[in-house]
Homo-oligomer: A and B are copies of this chain.
Amino acid sequence: MKWLSLFLLTLLPTLAVAQDDPLPSWNDGPAKQSIIDFVTKVTTEGSEDFVPKYDRIATFDNDGTLWCEAPLPLQVVYVLYELKRRVATEPKLAENEMVKAALDGDFKKLLAGTHYDGLMEILAITHSGLTTDQYDQNVRNWIKIFKDKRFGYNLPGMTYQPMQELLKYLRANGFQTFIVSGGGADFMRVFTHRVYGIPPNQVVGSNALTKFELIDGQPTLTKTMDQFFVDDKAGKPVGIWQFIGRKPIAAFGNSDGDQAMLEYVTIGNKYPSFGLIVHHTDAVRAYAYDKDPPSSGKLITALEAAPKYGWTVVSMKDDWKTIFVGDK
């Protein structure tokens, strides 16, 4: 009995640390500390930095911030899968010049011109002209078979464990967490609740209008490309205003596409605010890139601006104990 007590006593410090640490996949250091300091001060009642729960809004970029975007953003992987699946039975589609370019991996052709006509065409082919129910089902079917080529993980496995902990930590402290991403809103909404605990109405993304009709007496929403809106760069604060209608107090991103959002949230905020950039520095456990990314995620000007505005820069290599959620 005495031995058991002593044994339990030696365990206590470990248990206390494990219990108290809301971010176990983060290494101790200035990045982790800056997060904890911010959350502590805005949730300490009576402090001059206290922010009422109602106004604790945090916005997260998705690709490269919450999950992997290399070598291709996962929505592009979905588009390629869909095109390949459909050309097998749709010969007219197989002859489309941009579909061919996509299936040949000719991204230069798809991204040519100032309006990315090729990319828009394959987006339109895979993201419009079908009902919201059918689109939802298509994405679900793809999720079921998806495995990352390099890591072998499924879709939830490609999310970052430290960021999952951060989402939960913020929510446990009364924050509402939103996604504000260049990715398609309808695409992300298929899985965000299951994968991140974020419901569809807290997902802001690129979007276009649907068309409502009663077809054979059944209400139907068909996806179109009308009023296509790109929720990236200056579009991010625009999307925040349109969907959330208030200025957040914290924003998390990984590229120059997040700079406007970080500026909007952290400059001239009536509350204390927090900005964070995930810097991809780990070529061994993930990917290393900034100014010359494998595809999306260019990071130059936002990284330069970080010290000026006090944004925390996270080095994936140094600050994260674990990177991917992996196969759980």
Q: Could you say which of B176, B202, B211, B243 contacts A238, with CB atoms under 8 Å apart?
A: B211
Q: List, in ascending order, chain B residues with CB within 8 A of A219's CB.
A: 237, 260, 263-264, 267-268
Would you give the shortest CB distance from A192 to chain B, in whole angstroms?
9
Q: List, in ascending order, chain B residues with CB within 8 A of A241's CB.
A: 132, 210, 221
Q: A221-B237, A229-B227 are in contact. Are A245 and B209 (CB under 8 A)?
A: no
Would you give the shortest CB distance from A263 to chain B, in whole angstroms?
5
Report if A246 contacts B (CB, 8 A): yes
Report if A212 contacts B (CB, 8 A): yes
Would you give the shortest CB distance from A257 to chain B, in whole angstroms?
13
A267 and B199 within 8 A (CB):
no
Report if A54 contacts B (CB, 8 A): yes
Q: Mark A131-165, 1 if CB is under 8 A from B, else 0.
A: 01000000000000000000000000000000000
A245 and B201 within 8 A (CB):
yes
Q: Mark A261-284, 1 if CB is under 8 A from B, else 0.
A: 001100110000000000000000
Q: List, in ascending order, chain B residues with CB within 8 A of A201's CB.
A: 176, 178, 201-202, 243-246
Q: List A237-251 residues whose CB lies under 8 Å from chain B.
A: 237-238, 241-246
List 19 interface pairs A-B (beta carbons < 8 Å), by A numbering. A54-B193, A132-B241, A199-B246, A201-B201, A201-B243, A207-B242, A209-B229, A210-B237, A210-B242, A212-B260, A214-B267, A219-B237, A219-B260, A219-B263, A219-B268, A221-B237, A221-B238, A227-B229, A243-B243
